[in-house]
Amino acid sequence: MRPSSLEVLDLTLPVVADPELETLIETRVGQLVRQLSSTSSPSGGSRGELGVRFFEKRRRKASGLGGWLTGTGRSEEEICWEVWKLKITLTTPRTETERMTLFRAEAPALQKTAMTIVKIVNRDKEHIPPITTSETNPFPYEILLNPRAEYDGKSIGFFS
């Protein structure tokens, strides 16, 4: 993986150039857009949510003799240590004027959100597990479409 950047609404955002991650994001966003497009309200806006869960890999402790016999004594388990909930509103401007109005309104909102994320991530670090692997991505993740409440984990700031 290598760092890169992306221009969105006149804002340059950092990204990680990883084709597998990009494909997963495009797939989930596409699924959400299709879902929201099919349920669009007459006012032109629909809401949904993407969830991102981060995990730590831990060795599962042997469960006595049974773990040794079944081979589960050395397996790994994934423990969720953080959940991000991203609330999404899909809007469909009907005119170029509407599109520009939305653009002017959303660009500062995106910048404010990005800065809030940076502030929270830099402030709340103590719950992040240590990196114990040399794998490219030390923390497995999953991206969920409209996650249920059962996926709540450690949420930070306004992401909860």
In this structure, how many other beta carbons lie within 10 angstroms of the beta carbon of residue 43? Answer: 7
C-alpha 18, offset from chain centre: 15
| Dihedral (CA of 126, 127, 128, 130) sign | positive
Q: What are the φ/ψ torsions at residue 77 (nearest 5 degrees)?
A: -125, 155
pTM for the model stands at 0.72
Q: Which two tokens stand for residue 153?
A: 């984990």
DSSP 49: E
pLDDT digits (tens, 9 = 90+) for 62-92: 655 555 555 555 578 889 999 989 888 888 8
- 154 pLDDT above the threshold of 80: no
pLDDT digits (tens, 9 = 90+) for 9-53: 888 888 888 888 889 999 999 999 998 888 766 655 788 999 999
Rounded-to-integer distance, Cα 119 and Cα 84, Å: 15
pLDDT digits (tens, 9 = 90+) for 126-143: 888 988 888 878 889 999
